[in-house]
Amino acid sequence: MLVVKKFGGTSVADKDRIMNVARRCVADYKAGNDVVVVLSAMGKQTDVLIDMARSVNPNPPRRELDMLMTTGEQVSVAMMAMAMDSLGVPAVSLNAYQVAMHTTSVYGNARLKRIDTERIRNELDLKKIVIITGFQGVNKYDDYTTLGRGGSDTTAVALAAALHADKCEIYTDVEGVYTADPRIVPKARKLKEITYDEMLDLATLGAGVLHNRSVELAKKYGVKLVVRSSMSEAEGTVVKEVVKVERMLVSGVAADKNVTRVSVVGLEDRPGVAFRLFDALAKANINVDMILQSIGRDDTKDITFTIPRDMETDAINAIENIKDTLNMQDVKVNSHVAKVSIVGAGMMSNPGVAARMFECLYNANINIRMISTSEIRVTVLIDEKEVDKAMNVIHDMFGLED
Ligand code: ASP
Ligand code: MG
């Protein structure tokens, strides 16, 4: 059997944890499996590197930031190979360049395009454990790129797909996917299984446990994904196409605080205005999420939308640049908002779900600022300080506790 095992930063944060992971992988190897390991940077090393960059330049060039950040993963893979060697098992560490993991050119948010598997296969044939840097790739200029924060999950799933692995295990510091973040909702419960679609929404909406593109890839290539803890033997959560167990209406509640709301006020009410605004944002690589356009009055209209908070400066600059062609009156920014979402495949055939969510927010006296929905999701934008309360009342309302 070929397994890809990915370990996040906390699982390799210090020498004891590195040895723990090394032993787990060696056990798998000794059981006769081909083992490919993908690692994140040790502990909070990526944040440390970003702070270092900002200490010399508050707005570091993205290429150089990637050059710096990719060192984090390179440290952990080398450390792991040495740890395995100390256990008497042959292991080799490889970075994205050595493997040849080709990505698009956007620094800081590159997408994997193609992975050469030859070197990995050769090392596996030599009976080695192969340890690969997560999060990084190489673009057409032969420069290092990164896949966006949390991107090591995507590296692991992409490798599992490219190698036709039997499964891809994502090891983390929690025991699996929960109905809500247990640090915010004490009654949260671990799910045994979840569908790709639900997981994709939860990941995108801030569940934090998996990088959303990893789920997208897993669904596309049918990779069997398991999310489990590196500290315990507990079974974890299986992410797959169809879930057999009886369907819950709602499978999870997620919150995302990396949100800013932007209102462009007093735009001319004529064709092409929305296009020019969102085209400028797209060209600046800004992901726009919820969008609301007001009814036109006095030949003007307002457009309100949400963006990731860490893209706020870029977004404002992009809007400033087209200010004259757009003829707007004002731009208002609110960085104290957050998104709270419920996700569940069972929603598709149950029209009352959104209303129940709004009802419990009303009972808790929480004001809804924006709403968006899909077939299996309802998202509301609320004040950031009310997130914890909102998640708990919603979790109770849908009976998600044990
Ligand atoms: N080390 C990177 C990060 O902190 C990638 C990852 O952990 O998945 O975002
Ligand atoms: Mg992660």
pLDDT in tens, 314-366: 999 999 999 888 888 999 999 999 999 999 988 887 889 999 999 999 999 99
Residue 243: per-residue pLDDT: 72
pLDDT band for position 245 (cuts 50, 70, 90): low
Q: Where is average pLDDT lowest: 4-18, 94-108, 125-139, 292-306?
A: 292-306
Residue 194: per-residue pLDDT: 93
Residue 247: per-residue pLDDT: 64
Could you give the CA distance from residue 221 to residue 232 in angstroms, rounded to a whole number? 28
Tell me the pLDDT of the chain averaged across its residues: 94
Q: Please tell me the distance between residue 108's alpha carbon and the centre of ligand 1 in angstroms.
A: 11
Average pLDDT over residues 166-181: 94
Q: Whose CA is nearest to atom 8 of ligand 1?
A: 150
Residue 244: per-residue pLDDT: 64
In the predicted model, is pLDDT for residue 246 greater than 70? no
pLDDT band for position 383 (cuts 50, 70, 90): very high
Question: pTM of the full predicted structure?
Answer: 0.86
Out of 10, 11, 40, 157, mutate this one to test ligand 1's pocket (max ligand atoms within 8 Å of CB): namely 40
Could you give the CA distance from residue 104 to residue 137 in angstroms, rounded to a whole number? 9
State pLDDT tens for residues 7-37. 999 999 999 999 999 999 999 999 999 999 9
Q: What is the SS3 assignment for the chain? A: CEEEEEECHHHHCCHHHHHHHHHHHHHHHHCCCEEEEEECCCCCHHHHHHHHHHHHCCCCCHHHHHHHHHHHHHHHHHHHHHHHHHCCCCEEEECHHHHCEEECCCCCCCCEEEECCHHHHHHHHCCCEEEEECCEEECCCCCEEECCCCCHHHHHHHHHHHCCCCEEEEEECCCCCECCCCCCCCCCCECCEEEHHHHHHHHHCCCCCCCHHHHHHHHHHCCCEEEEECCCCCCCEEEECCCCCCCCCCCEEEEECCCEEEEEEEEECCCCHHHHHHHHHHHCCCCCCCEEECCCECCEEEEEEEECHHHHHHHHHHHHHCHHHHCCCEEEEECCEEEEEEECHHHHHCCCHHHHHHHHHHHCCCCCCEEEEECCEEEEEEEHHHHHHHHHHHHHHCCCCC
pLDDT band for position 178 (cuts 50, 70, 90): very high
In the predicted model, is pLDDT for residue 96 greater than 90? yes
Residue 209: per-residue pLDDT: 86
Residue 149 CB–ligand 1 contact under 6 Å: yes
Residue 43 CB–ligand 1 contact under 6 Å: no
* % pLDDT > 90, the chain: 87
* % pLDDT > 70, the chain: 99
Q: Which atom of ligand 1 is nearest to the CA of 152?
A: 8
pLDDT band for position 262 (cuts 50, 70, 90): very high
Residue 115: per-residue pLDDT: 97
Q: Please tell me the distance between residue 170's alpha carbon and the centre of ligand 2 in angstroms.
A: 9
pLDDT band for position 392 (cuts 50, 70, 90): very high
Among the listed residues 6, 55, 1, the one whose alpha carbon sits nearest the alpha carbon of residue 31: 1
Q: Please tell me the distance between residue 359's alpha carbon and the centre of ligand 1 in angstroms.
A: 37
State pLDDT tens for residues 290-315. 999 998 778 899 999 999 999 999 99
Residue 349: per-residue pLDDT: 79
Q: Which atom of ligand 1 is nearest to the CA of 149?
A: 9
Out of 135, 170, 214, mutate this one to test ligand 1's pocket (max ligand atoms within 8 Å of CB): namely 135
Residue 235: per-residue pLDDT: 93
pLDDT band for position 3 (cuts 50, 70, 90): very high
